[in-house]
Structure 1
Amino acid sequence: MSSDQAVELVPAELPGGAEAGAKKKRLRLLAIAVVVVGMLAGAGGVWWYMQGSGADHAGAAKHEEGSADGASDANPSASYIEVPPMMVNLRGGGAQAKFLKVRFIIVAAEGKTEAVKARLPVVLDALQPFLRELRPDDLNGAAAVFRIKEELMRRSASALGEGMVRDVLIQDLIQQ
């Protein structure tokens, strides 16, 4: 080659170079669209949760009508029965003993407060075997409190009879 001839260097296009860039762009747009749709769905779920269901509004309206008619509970706080705190050993194979302290309130059905108070030792006796069989692993996770509450409710209703207990409210659930 002589010095009079100029060599022009042109980069050769890689096979599929333009297509690969277009694919990356489409994937990025798709990822952004998925995130936006997820955020909108989450916002809609929060809005729906905050609005409540129609059944809740109907129950509140019915309660307001009953209050307007002059019908009210004679002593609304009488239906809450505080159970003495229970402390039990947790079942486990470790060398160190683990304990569970539970403090809860029983919500008695209307007019059943005295009957529930009189049979409270029977309720405590029904709950002891369940609480003693719990393992530390049973108390892990967000659903643990819900499962324990449901079991306390089921056993309380079983010990007292159907229609005696409306709810069980867990105040403390401490594992040591």
Structure 2
Amino acid sequence: MSKADKDSGAGAAGEGGEAPAPAPNKKKKLMLFGAIGAVLLLGGGGGAYMLLGSSGKTPAQEEAAAEASAKEGGGAGEKGGEKEGEKGKEAAHFVDVPAMVVNLRSADGASRFLKLHFVLVPGDKGNPEAITAKLPLLLDAYQPFLRELRPDDLAGSAAVYRVKEEMLVRAHQTLGDGAVKDVLIQDLIQQ
């Protein structure tokens, strides 16, 4: 086909109404990309607001927490500075345990390691000083359990929950019931 035939074919297509058809497709694509961009922008902005701007609690939850802290602290006669001091004390109640590195059992004999960093939350019958004093006993109770884990035991989303629950059981056995309320796992790295 010669250049003249192509030009005449293009003119005929323009007169026949076939050439304007791609223009609406381009408009649809442009609108689609614009809509996708707007959704991503709004989603990113909403996510940033939730992450940085809000406490993550509904107003009813915040109100219930305020009432509970007022009941614990002695009522409405407290000053704002005293309440902030209590919050600082609550943050000091956590017992940060240094990171542990243990060997994992593997069926193929390959070297596998687990690095675990966690924080203990004292319960009603425990205080941070007593837990810190008995920390070597607690770590000794954790060692056999962690060394018996296999890489397959750490696979999946429920693995952290199972490890956390077993650590809490061993904390209750070692330190007594009520001494530790929760185990907060900060890092769980398998190599």
- Partner of 1:84, secondary structure, is strand
Whichever residue aligns with residue 98 of structure 1, its letter is R
* Equivalent residue for 1:84, pick from 67, 92, 98: 98
* Equivalent residue for 2:135, pick from 120, 124, 128: 120
Query: 2:123 maps to which residue?
Result: 109
What is the alpha-carbon distance in structure 1 between the residues aligned to residue 99 and residue 127 of structure 2? 22
Query: 2:67 maps to which residue?
Result: 61
* Equivalent residue for 1:96, pick from 83, 105, 110: 110
* Equivalent residue for 1:131, pick from 140, 146, 150: 146
**Cα pair distance change 1:60/1:163, threshold 3 Å:** same
CA displacement, residues 144-173 of structure 1 (integer Å, 9 cap, x when unaligned):
111111111111111101111111110000
CA displacement, residues 58-106 of structure 1 (integer Å, 9 cap, x when unaligned):
4553224445453753722331111111111111111321110000001
Unaligned 5+ runs, structure 1: 1-49
**Cα pair distance change 1:142/1:119, threshold 3 Å:** same
Alignment of 1:7-86 (within 5 A): 58=64, 60-67=66-73, 68-70=76-78, 73=86, 75-86=89-100
CA RMSD for the aligned pairs?
2.6
What is the alpha-carbon distance in structure 1 between the residues aligned to residue 69 and residue 182 of structure 2? 19
What is the alpha-carbon distance in structure 2 between the residues aligned to residue 166 and residue 92 of structure 1? 32
The structure richer in helix per residue is 2
- Partner of 1:167, secondary structure, is strand
State the 4+ residue runs in structure 1 displaced beyond 4 angstroms.
54-60
Unaligned 5+ runs, structure 2: 1-55
The Cα shift of 1:118 comes to 0.5
- Partner of 2:98, secondary structure, is coil
Identity %: 48
Question: What is the TM-score of this pair, normalised by structure 1?
Answer: 0.62
What is the alpha-carbon distance in structure 1 between the residues aligned to residue 66 and residue 163 of structure 2? 28
Paired positions, count: 126
Question: What is the TM-score of this pair, normalised by structure 2?
Answer: 0.58
**Is 1:150 aligned to 2:172, yes or no?**
no
Q: Does structure 2 conserve the Cα–Cα contact (< 8 Å) formed by 1:79 and 1:109?
A: no
What is the alpha-carbon distance in structure 1 between the residues aligned to residue 190 and residue 130 of structure 2? 31
Q: Does structure 2 conserve the Cα–Cα contact (< 8 Å) formed by 1:157 and 1:165?
A: yes
